[in-house]
Amino acid sequence: MAQLWGGRFTKDTKEEVFLFNESLSFDKRLFEQDIEGSIAHVVMLEKQHVLTLEEKDAIVKGLTQIKEEVNNSTLQIRGEYEDIHSFIEALLIEKIGDAGKKMHTGRSRNDQVALDMRLYIREQVIVVDEELRELLKVLLRIMEENIRTYMPGFTHMQKAQPITLAHHIGAYFEMFKRDRSRLDDIYKRMNYCPLGSGALAGTTYPLDREYTASLLGFEGPTLNSMDSVSDRDYCIEFLAALSTIMMHLSRFCEEIIIWNSNEYGFVEMDDAYSTGSSIMPQKKNPDIAELVRGKTGRVYGALISMLTTMKGIPLAYNKDMQEDKEMTFDAIDTVKDCILLFTGMADTMKFNSSKMEASARLGFTNATDAADYLVKKGMPFRDAHSVIGRLVLYCIEKNCAIDDLSIEELKEISDVFEADVFDAISLKTCVEKRLTTGAPGPEQMKDVIEVYHKYLKKEEES
Ligand code: ARG
């Protein structure tokens, strides 16, 4: 057990206490952020004449070496240290001697960990955003290829009206686009630097917080030191955004699982993205989609845990806050894996367009359009609704589609029907004429696809 704070203690920490208290086993993930933050801190201390140039140079050199040694695995992060901050400081002192003991001047682990966590989350917000962009590219490709792939659209899991695959996939494009804009907001809101807040009440050293903030790429310093060391809103916001991403992925997975079932057969998973059964040789299971759906619970769990951990914490830092890490890290890893795997699965799955179209032809998906036909011929909508209702009942008894009836049979139910009805309620007309903004009509879909292309391109340019 090696600690930074032995002075006022007369006994060693009990081993169980040390183990319960330590965070090195998981906060070692923050080692690059910790070093980056320490370098900015000492560069500022030198500028403010708190450290000499020689001391600053020795510390920066020592920290840079530690970083290299960890990265090339000559140094393992482990040992009897309480956390990553103690580990790096102890190692630095070992390496460069007395100058290393000055690194922590005007700083507390409270503002140090607040900074490390912010730097880490800020980076991960970008990584998740980039993964989502790759997913959107795949979705846009599927959309472009399927603006005339007809399929049934559902409400209440009942066939409702015909749509296209491009339209269906476009709904998810919108969801993930919103997810990205949420990440963008989080980034902007969290991009303020807590370093220099000290333990809770700032410090009497002449720190230049604006300077460290700018060295670390922040908009500026945070404005209340008590809040700075105990704010984990950005973790919560990120977990909420990750949960929403998982909710979207999970809905999509649920649909893919249904579409992949023998009954639907709308989609087939690539062999590389499915698994077999140990007993049933015929099986090809959509495990990836099921796992993504399943892992959603775990990410929601992290959000609820974090909210619960934070809810009773008085100002300012309390050790409860060390619990922010494991669950946040796990959620980030989980979501990144899920987006990556989902993207690969979506990119390789094959759609069975003839099955989709056949399914859209059955199930009276053109009933609304049949009612609209009567309305266009002058019948009030409520009456038309009732006529078509009776028509559907007749078809169910006859076990056929509306389009299969003869004009004589149609006229028997309402003499408003004329021969042009067949064209008006054909699957093609039902889809192609839906041209309001956001509707599945292929000509309107093309405009939306154009907007999406511009959206993705603009990002690449910026
Ligand atoms: N390991 C601690 C954490 O993750 C670092 C901050 C420790 N601060 C303290 N006052 N004990 O929160």
- DSSP-assigned states of every residue in 271-293: GGG-B--SS-TT--B-HHHHHHH
DSSP 8-state code for residue 32: H
Reading the block at residue 304, the tokens are 């609820």
Distance 18 CA to ligand 1 centre (A): 13
The pLDDT, as a whole number, for residue 414 is: 96
Reading the block at residue 214, the tokens are 């700018």
35 lines ligand 1 (CB under 6 A): no
**Taking 90 as the threshold, does the pLDDT of residue 277 lie above it?**
no
Q: What contacts 156, CB < 8 A, 6 or more positions away?
A: none
The pLDDT, as a whole number, for residue 281 is: 78
Distance 95 CA to ligand 1 centre (A): 24
From 322, 324, 328, 329, mutation site for ligand 1 pocket: most ligand atoms within 8 A of C-beta: 322
Answer whether 438's CB lies under 8 Å from 429's CB: no
DSSP 8-state code for residue 205: S
3-class secondary structure, 148 = coil
* Whole-number Å distance between alpha carbons of 169 and 142: 8
Closest C-alpha among 286, 281, 220, 218 to residue 257: 286
**Taking 70 as the threshold, does the pLDDT of residue 218 lie above it?**
yes
Per-residue pLDDT tens over the stretch 221-262: 999 999 999 999 999 999 999 999 999 999 999 999 999 999
253 lines ligand 1 (CB under 6 A): no
Per-residue pLDDT tens over the stretch 62-100: 999 999 999 999 999 998 999 999 999 999 999 999 999
* Whole-number Å distance between alpha carbons of 402 and 417: 12
When pLDDT is averaged across residues 403-423 and rounded to a whole number, the result is 96
* Whole-number Å distance between alpha carbons of 371 and 250: 35
- Name residue 47's amino acid: K
Question: 11 pLDDT band (50/70/90 cuts)?
Answer: confident
Positions marked active-site: 156, 277
The pLDDT, as a whole number, for residue 238 is: 98
**Taking 90 as the threshold, does the pLDDT of residue 264 lie above it?**
yes
The pLDDT, as a whole number, for residue 85 is: 98
The pLDDT, as a whole number, for residue 280 is: 80
Q: What contacts 415, CB < 8 A, 6 or more positions away?
A: none
The pLDDT, as a whole number, for residue 12 is: 84
Secondary structure element (H or E) that encloses residue 350, with its range: strand 350-351
* Whole-number Å distance between alpha carbons of 290 and 246: 12
Per-residue pLDDT tens over the stretch 329-366: 999 999 999 999 999 999 999 999 999 999 999 999 99
Question: 278 pLDDT band (50/70/90 cuts)?
Answer: confident
Reading the block at residue 252, the tokens are 């999509």
Secondary structure element (H or E) that encloses residue 90, with its range: helix 84-96
Rounded percentage of the chain residues whose pLDDT exceeds 70: 99
The pLDDT, as a whole number, for residue 115 is: 98
CB-based burial label for 226 (10 Å; 0-12, 13-18, 19+)? middle
The pLDDT, as a whole number, for residue 179 is: 98
Q: What contacts 101, CB < 8 A, 6 or more positions away?
A: 93
Question: 7 pLDDT band (50/70/90 cuts)?
Answer: confident
- Name residue 198's amino acid: G
Q: How many CB atoms lie within 10 A of CB 68?
A: 11
365 lines ligand 1 (CB under 6 A): no
The pLDDT, as a whole number, for residue 6 is: 73
* Whole-number Å distance between alpha carbons of 24 and 83: 4
Answer whether 103's CB lies under 8 Å from 92's CB: yes
The pLDDT, as a whole number, for residue 185 is: 98
The pLDDT, as a whole number, for residue 1 is: 67
Residue with the nearest Cα to atom 12 of ligand 1?
322
113 lines ligand 1 (CB under 6 A): yes
Answer whether 431's CB lies under 8 Å from 442's CB: yes
The pLDDT, as a whole number, for residue 116 is: 98
**Taking 90 as the threshold, does the pLDDT of residue 374 lie above it?**
yes
* Whole-number Å distance between alpha carbons of 430 and 420: 14
